[in-house]
Amino acid sequence: MDEPSRTWNIGLCVLCGLPGAGKSTLARGLQNGDNPFPVVVITYDDVITDAAFQGEPVCESPDISCQSEEAGGRQTSLWKQYRQNLLQCLEHLIVALLSCSNLKAPDGIIEGHWNRFVQCLESQGLISAAKSVSDFNQFLINPKLSPICLILDDNFYYQSMRYEVYQLARKYSLGFCQLYLHCSTDCCLLRNTSRPHPVTDKTILLMDQKIEKPNPEKNTWEKNSLVLDSSRGIAVDDSRITDFLNRALASPVTPPEDDTEEKDKDREICAANIVHQADQSLRRLISETMQTVKGSVCAHNIKGIAQELQCAKAEALDQLRQSMSGKTILCLKTDIHFNAQSFFKEEKDHILRRYLHKDPVP
């Protein structure tokens, strides 16, 4: 998508944290508060509804709760597709704002998803439907809402989710910031019970284990981050928040002179994918091995074999991570994955020989 000429000043604020941390309450407060700039909130749960999973296996948070590779894989894939659709809608909105042109649906977008997206914007006065028949399915931008802060209300528990928004900000030189609400798990669980559509306790507990908090020391792109303790609530007129959003609007992200940062991030993503794939492969090998040995060793040694195989898997993955600690990792470097499997298989054979020697097949 070509970059338009700039006529608007736009900030993107990623609002993240556990379910029940108070994100939506804060977002509504900022939207209706006395701010020096208009605030428009895009709530992911309003755009990506349960309808996204019709005909698919159901679980509360697909990237968190689905453990089955067959069912969870399809579910996660569909969930990611809808998140990508939402990013696509967001980019079209940014282009329309910057160029003061009509907002049009992206090609190939899911109709129901697009309708929920524009309804969200219409309800806040950012856009209005064009009246001309020739402009059917196009929307007019309200020129009075500039500068504007777009708050994206979601859990954003993985860094990669937030980085996708940062990439949009960098592509179009927008303001970018992250507002992370820290809240104890017990408090989130308690608040969740009073929500209109609560998630399960298991979802919150799993998300708490997996959530990746902003880390400005490691990731320079996360330097514009504000972490607030929301256990006792947060005042909408907190000067820390308004000053933070003001700074983001006043300091748009500029594209880097070279692609070093982009390459470093790509390496991190590739490395994480390789480790994840290796972990899944080794899990399958352990499962297959345990099925094979059940009739070959005494029952009291089954647990010992399982524990030793788990230790071998952990050591294989640790060596894999160490081998990728340098910055020369390539996305298609399949030999690294193969070495991890070879190491594990050697350890597995050594373990089984010891136990089969103890328990010879009758």
Among 80-94, 254-268, 315-329, top mean pLDDT goes to 80-94
Across the chain, mean pLDDT equals 81
Q: Minimum mean pLDDT among 27-41, 200-214, 290-304: which range?
A: 290-304
pLDDT band with cut points at 50, 70 and 90 for residue 327:
very low
Among 10-24, 236-250, 283-297, top mean pLDDT goes to 10-24
Stretch 7-24: mean pLDDT: 90
Q: Residue 312 CB: number of other CB atoms within 10 A? A: 21
Bigger pLDDT: 123 vs 334: 123
**How do 127-129 and 138-141 pair as beta strands?**
antiparallel
Stretch 54-60: mean pLDDT: 39
State the pLDDT at residue 40: 95
Which domains are assigned to the chain?
Answer: 10-255 (3.40.50.300), 261-358 (no CATH)
State the pLDDT at residue 266: 67
Residue 193 carries which DSSP code? T
Bigger pLDDT: 83 vs 169: 169
Q: Tokens 């968190």 identify what position?
A: 64
Stretch 288-306: mean pLDDT: 82
State the pLDDT at residue 167: 94
The full DSSP string for 39-81 is EEEEEHHHHS-GGGGTTS---SSHHHH---HHHHHHHHHHHHH
- The model's pTM: 0.66
CA 267 to CA 169: how far, in whole Å?
Answer: 21
CA 236 to CA 342: how far, in whole Å?
Answer: 56
Residue 282 above 80 pLDDT?
yes
State the pLDDT at residue 61: 47
Of 344, 335, 342, 273, the C-alpha closest to 308 is: 344
